[in-house]
Amino acid sequence: MNIQNARIHGKLQNLRIENGKILEITDKPLAAALDVKGKRVIPGLIDVHSHGCMGLDTMDADFEKMCLYYARHGTTSWLPTTMTMSYEAISRVCRAKTDFRGTHILGFHLEGPYISKKYKGAQNEAYIKNPSAEDFKQFERVKMITIAPELPGSMAFTREVSPHCVVSIGHTDCDYETAMEAIENGASCLTHTYNAMPPFHHRAPGPIGAGFEKHIYAQVICDGFHVLKPVVLATYRMFGPERMTIISDSIRPAGLPDGHYESGGLEVVLEGGIARLTDGTIAGSSSTLWTCVKKAVEFGIPFDDAVRMASATPAEMLGVPKGKLLPGYDADLLVLGDNDEIETVIIDGEVL
């Protein structure tokens, strides 16, 4: 399929697509093309941190409906993100069927079980363990793992695992020095920056200060609640669009009305679009990644940068040929209509 009259970065262009790849971007007319009539076209979004939606959760190991939901809301690739649960439960997820119509599953993000009890957030403390590279080998197709680098064995784990998947610092009580050591051993990302970690203090910069100094990736839940506007803008200035990565961190109630739900074996209450445990602890979000991108733009981040932080930046972090409208990249695209709302989703060069 070819696409004609696509407005890309303000310029009308045509895309020649074959076998799910962008082969050429040209001003010349193309045969058998979908004419999008000057509408804005952007890369499909990539969510590296999302647990679930529509009453479904990664731990259910059943992704068909989730892949369709995410695709219809502009996320064309994602990493299903596990909770801190038993090894058996996590292994079951990593072995699950993933080739469904809709959003591509690029692999898995293990959020735990190698995390801090103090900063466990909405994770189940009963399943927290110290890092073990030997144990980790049982998990298939892992693209990212969140760890607390202050735990015994974390540095050796990071050295062994980081050549094969992204090691992200999160759910941690580590100080600046420990975070710096973890980064020097191969950690390259912060998990939902600011949430479930020590704050960025002028005399105790912690993992956020270390991440900024070492220019690693920084995930941010840009739903307008987990991280407020001034801090989102400050993080954008600190890390830049090449390192700040917008995530949804959506959980089971996303897309559903207010009510009581379960996530990771814990009761979650969704009220006013905000998810909390029964003790008041903030849980994940109820937003889509596209909603988070629009919130970033509302906060004052330039549109192209906001899109980049949810497409090209996570793609670069994962090392996949996605997230850019360039020859050689996967033809995962979004056509935007009035008010920049998603009108058409294209995955592998095919209209969803």
Residues 318 and 342 occupy one common structural domain = no
Residues with Cβ within 8 Å of 340's Cβ and at least 6 positions away in sequence, in order, are: 40, 294, 303
Contact assessment for residue 345 and residue 71, using Cβ atoms and an 8 Å cutoff: yes
Q: Which of 96, 72, 21, 50 is nearest to 286 (CA)?
A: 50
Residues 162, 244: one domain? yes
Residue type, 107: G
Please compute, for residue 35, the number of CA atoms within 13 A of its CA located in the half-sphere on the CB side. 4
Q: State whether 20 and 107 are in the same domain.
A: no
Question: Based on the domain organization, do 51 and 39 belong to the same domain?
Answer: no
Q: Do 199 and 91 belong together in one domain?
A: yes
- The verdict on 40 and 52 lying in the same domain is no
DSSP 19: T
Nearest to 43 by CA among 293, 285, 244, 251: 293
Distance CA 320, CA 21 (A): 13
The DSSP code sequence of 240-287 is -TTTEEEE--B-TTTTS-SEEEEETTEEEEEETTEEEETTS-B--B--
* Structural domain total, the chain: 2
- Specify whether 243 is located in the same domain as 347: no
* Listed residue (53, 165, 151, 45) closest to 109, CA to CA: 165
Give the domain range for residue 27: 1-44+324-352
- DSSP label at residue 7: E
Measured distance CA(38)–CA(262) in Å, rounded: 44
Residue 146: strand pairing partners: 111, 168
Together in a domain, 34 and 179: no
Structure tokens given for 194: 């600011």
User: Do 331 and 307 share a structural domain?
Assistant: no
We report the CATH number of the domain holding residue 38 as 2.30.40.10
Q: Give residue 272's pLDDT.
A: 86
| Same-domain status, 17 and 161 | no
Are 36 and 74 in a shared domain?
no
CA dist 124 → 168, 267, 274, 298 (Å): 19, 11, 20, 34
Tokens 């996590």 map to which residue? 90
What's the length of the chain? 352
Beta bridge partners of 267: 262
Do 297 and 340 fall within a single domain?
no
**Tokens 């996605």 appear where?**
322
Written as tens digits, the pLDDT of the chain (352 aa) is 899 999 999 999 999 999 999 999 999 888 878 999 999 999 999 999 999 999 999 999 999 999 999 999 999 999 999 999 999 999 999 999 999 999 999 999 999 999 999 999 889 999 999 999 999 999 999 999 999 999 999 999 999 999 999 999 999 999 999 999 999 999 999 999 999 999 999 999 999 999 999 999 999 999 999 999 999 999 999 999 999 999 999 999 899 898 998 877 788 898 888 888 888 888 878 899 999 999 999 999 999 999 999 999 999 999 999 999 999 999 999 999 988 899 999 999 999 9
pLDDT score, position 339: 87
Q: In angstroms, what CA-CA distances link 197 with 194, 206, 343?
A: 6, 8, 38
Which CATH number covers residue 117? 3.20.20.140
Q: Which residues pair with 326 in a beta bridge?
A: none
